[in-house]
Amino acid sequence: MTVTAEHVPLSAGVLVIGGGLAGAWAALSAAEQGADVILVDKGYCGTSGVTATGGVGHWYLPPQARAAEVAARSSAGGDLTDPAWMYRTMEVAWQRLPELDRYYQWPVKDGQPNRAISVRGPEYMRLMRGRVRRAGVTVLDHHPATQLLLDRDGSVAGASGIRLQDGGGWTCQASAVILATGGTAFLSRLLGAHNNTADGHLMAAEAGARFSAMEFSCYYTVAAAHSTMTRSIPFMYGTYRDCDGNELLFETYQSGIPMIARALARGPVTVVLDRMPPLARQKLRHVQPNFLLPLLRRGIDPFRDPFPVALRGEGTIRGTGGIALSGDDCQTGVEGLFAAGDVASREPIVGASSGGGQPNSAWCVASGTWSGRAAARRAASRRAGSGKTAASALRPIGEAGLRPRRSGDIDIPAVRGAVSRELNDYDKNLFRSGPGLRRSLALLEDLWTQVSDYASGGDDRDGLRSREAAALVAAGRWVLSAAIARQESRGMHRRTDAAYRDPRFTATIRVAGLDSVSVALAPARERVAS
């Protein structure tokens, strides 16, 4: 391999883009099948993504408990789930989590490791990085991918990107590519999500992939007003008061989010976690110690002292939408391209409800396992074939934010800020209406024209921010287009002008396209539990 100061050529059987939980499981699974694997991460694999910021639980249920869970999740998910995918996901988590026993000290229950409880995220990701590297995977930190490469036959055959620390760029030729770039919170200041800017979504769309459940991207989580630390469970035990000192009364934490949002529109809202049982307080210090740090540093005892809160949008991270999968092995519908984790749609396992917490973590394990093994099989079959296409014959397909159509200036920070406002403001995204959604979409359509015409990407951080802006605008347009099409309220998607559930929309909404976004309604197919 020849290395210059400007560019590094790479080659692998399997290229994994993203170093969070799903990317780590995908890289490990591919390497276990004998594939030559390279993992590239925008940040540092082991600290990247939302998993590394708190406690992580899994959908870890024994076989006899799964039927009831599937029934409950299907109902909560607005009857949009697919039981076969739910059972498959739980089974893979059940099979693979015990692999962590030699690295992680689980609490003991009835003499056995209690794997059903939360894992400390920082330790989890650190041990996964170690497992990945011991499996022989080449890990390239601070190497964001910016575009995919296509072979002559239209299949995905690699990617290229930026070397943030050393300067210049990189190109990797690969027989299979796995996108594990996570969801996006549209720059809401959600802890661990700042790098999650829908890069993988845009790359997939340029290759021809479609998306599903993008309208289910309006999940909000409470955080201390001065903090980006969002964790649902502690705030479920809170007593909330509005700016007049009146207690906000609601049956469940999630049903109370709209009430908190309306109160925040009037003034500060405070909470005190006085309802948390003593045992839960002790577990919180063990499983999510970083939840308490921002409070304790300010001299706040959250179990006694009221403190002001804010709501952070979680977009497609605790939302549901992403790349629509076309097969059981996490194929994307584009030859040679797979998806794992939050970049893929989780509609089959959680429907219109949030997959945050246990289902999403199990999904990272399962989709990482499936995609990694399938990508390894593809790499092996290509290796046994007639050989690779010459790297010089591969075609880079990145456009918006990389290759401007015209000469001119664009304010990239202003674009990023505008997308964040349209996709996070409560009155636009939590309390949705047809007219409001259409106004936001019109604004983003104009932004898309601007970034397509004028945004230019180079091999530096400014170039990366330009490409990220294009990805954020693109993802925002898919979210808004799907939300406009779903003319009802279901799960987390609430329409103030259609505050009812319409049986016509017991269906998947798929969106696709760049300059022109297409929307299609796919009626729910018959689903048979496996």
pLDDT of residue 387: 56
Position 107 in a domain: yes
User: Which has the closest alpha carbon to 56: 514, 320, 362, 369?
Assistant: 362
Same domain as 349, residue 362: yes
pLDDT in tens, 103-122: 998 888 888 898 988 888 89
pLDDT in tens, 318-340: 999 999 999 999 999 999 999 99
Position 1 in a domain: no
Same domain as 162, residue 56: yes
pLDDT in tens, 397-420: 999 999 999 999 999 999 999 999
pLDDT in tens, 12-70: 999 999 999 999 999 999 999 999 999 999 999 999 989 988 778 899 999 999 999 99
Position 528 in a domain: no
Q: Is the dihedral of CA 83, 84, 89, 92 positive or negative?
A: positive
pLDDT of residue 2: 43
Domain count for the chain = 3
- State residue 396 phi and psi, 5-degree precision: -75, 140
> Are the beta carbons of 183 and 315 closer than 8 angstroms?
yes
pLDDT in tens, 151-207: 999 999 999 999 999 999 999 999 999 999 999 999 998 888 999 999 999 999 999
Overall average pLDDT of the 248-272 stretch: 93
Q: Coil, helix or strand for 66?
A: helix
CATH number at residue 450: 1.20.58.100
Among 138-142, 269-273, 381-385, whose mean pLDDT is lowest? 381-385
Examine the pLDDT at 357 and tell me if it is beyond 80.
no
Same domain as 176, residue 104: yes
Please count the other Cβ atoms lying within 10 Å of the Cβ belonging to residue 282. 10
Same domain as 156, residue 68: yes
Position 513 in a domain: no
pLDDT of residue 3: 43
pTM, entire model: 0.94
- State residue 484 phi and psi, 5-degree precision: -65, -40
Task: Say which residue the tokens 């998947």 belong to.
Answer: 508
Same domain as 122, residue 20: yes
Residue 460 CA: distances (Å) to CA of 181, 359, 403, 457, 501 = 19, 36, 15, 8, 47
Overall average pLDDT of the 136-141 stretch: 98
pLDDT of residue 529: 34
Residue ending a domain, among 288, 313, 338, is: 313
pLDDT in tens, 219-258: 999 999 988 877 778 899 999 999 999 999 998 888 899 9
Overall average pLDDT of the 469-481 stretch: 98
Same domain as 166, residue 32: yes
User: Which has the closest alpha carbon to 519: 502, 507, 501, 503?
Assistant: 507
pLDDT of residue 55: 77
Position 118 in a domain: yes
> Are the beta carbons of 1 and 170 closer than 8 angstroms?
no
Same domain as 192, residue 258: no
**How high is the mean pLDDT of the chain?**
93
pLDDT of residue 325: 97
Residue 50 CA: distances (Å) to CA of 199, 228, 369 = 16, 11, 19
Rounded CA-CA distance 511/205 in Å is: 10
Position 246 in a domain: yes
Domain with 423, as residue range(s), is 412-502
Same domain as 238, residue 153: no
Same domain as 467, residue 320: no
Position 521 in a domain: no
Rounded CA-CA distance 512/391 in Å is: 29
Rounded CA-CA distance 37/374 in Å is: 13
Position 406 in a domain: no
CATH number at residue 283: 3.90.700.10
Same domain as 426, residue 283: no
CATH number at residue 365: 3.50.50.60
Structure tokens at 139: 């890990």
E strands in 425-505 = none
Alpha-helix residue ranges (DSSP H) falling in 288-385? 289-296, 347-350, 358-383
Rounded CA-CA distance 174/13 in Å is: 5
pLDDT of residue 388: 62
> Are the beta carbons of 330 and 344 closer than 8 angstroms?
yes
Beta bridge partners of 138: 38
Same domain as 209, residue 231: no
pLDDT in tens, 346-356: 999 999 999 87
More confident call, 233 vs 441: 441
Examine the pLDDT at 385 and tell me if it is beyond 70.
no
Same domain as 248, residue 186: no
Structure tokens at 178: 């796995």
Q: Coil, helix or strand for 17?
A: strand
Task: Say which residue the tokens 């949002």 belong to.
Answer: 261
With residue 232 as reference, give the H or E element that holds it: helix 232-235
